[in-house]
Structure 1
């Protein structure tokens, strides 16, 4: 994964060095988009909510995303991993835009622990669906992800389950990028119960650090 992230970052930075619309930039951007399309951790936002239209919406959202990358590669900040930037845009912006354009009156069936509710597409934009479907969306905000990235003391990577690679940092990243618990479980070969309980304990442990970061 680290090798893949490094390759994407190299392509993104190289594309930024070439003049807009130049042949060299277009060539590098084409390579970058191809790599992103093949990425295993390319997020699929709100899976299970648009049963008959999800594929159409998702493909339109990806198209918008890739056009944006090619037109606005200067907006990529090398302090972040490329897939973090890409997944944030796909989930928070382009998936919502695709929904609104194709199905402006569509209503989403969102299941909570207590009941099933119908919400309109405003819920996607306002984040209400995140509250209704915690299993589909990460619990950490984009600001907290930035806090995870900066982490000068390395506490988030040093805090881990029985496996160093399954650290709070690694798990939080995957949750923010839309991974399900069973996918994270398969990757680290650890039970879902072990990972999820560790994740909740770590969030409580670091709550004061997150609050300090967000208030600074």
Structure 2
């Protein structure tokens, strides 16, 4: 097991009242296969655990603490995720989120385009979740104060803005592609500027790098994680 494989999580524990409680939690955690180190602090009511994610998960650690008669304080948040197109996208977003320190569980729904993340209270912020999702090549709909969109009307409005931008790109791409198509066939005769290959190149550039930029960005993000998705196919 390499040092880089070790992860750390801080779990807020409720129900501890004395040094015996601390010893009890430390004992059950340290005896858990996959746990490298576990320290419990009564003053802060937190357990700091270093563990091998291949052998034990945060959910397992919580179950162990619960079984010992204590409970872990967790928070749950649902964030709207944009840019997902297939099951591969769902799997990658879930994998990235589960790899964030402090995350207990993460599930993504492609139909609703939302990710539900449970994490140890105080261990991370919405910004941490957003950065993880964006690093994977997707977007998170956020309000101006960096909170996830919770109001349905606000979310609908933001998604509508996304669709309008997409419609504009489709329209511009269709018009430019039609002009390129016409100019590429000599049997249409002399079409003036459209017969000039440099003009066709100029028309093709925004189609490739403005209209199609989301596909390049999505494919590149997938490649960084050594995987593929629908963007790669496109």
Do they fold alike, i.e. is TM over 0.5? no
Q: Greater Rg, structure 1 or structure 2?
A: 2
Structure whose residues are more often helix by fraction: 1
Q: Tell me the TM-score normalized by structure 2.
A: 0.28
Q: Tell me the TM-score normalized by structure 1.
A: 0.30
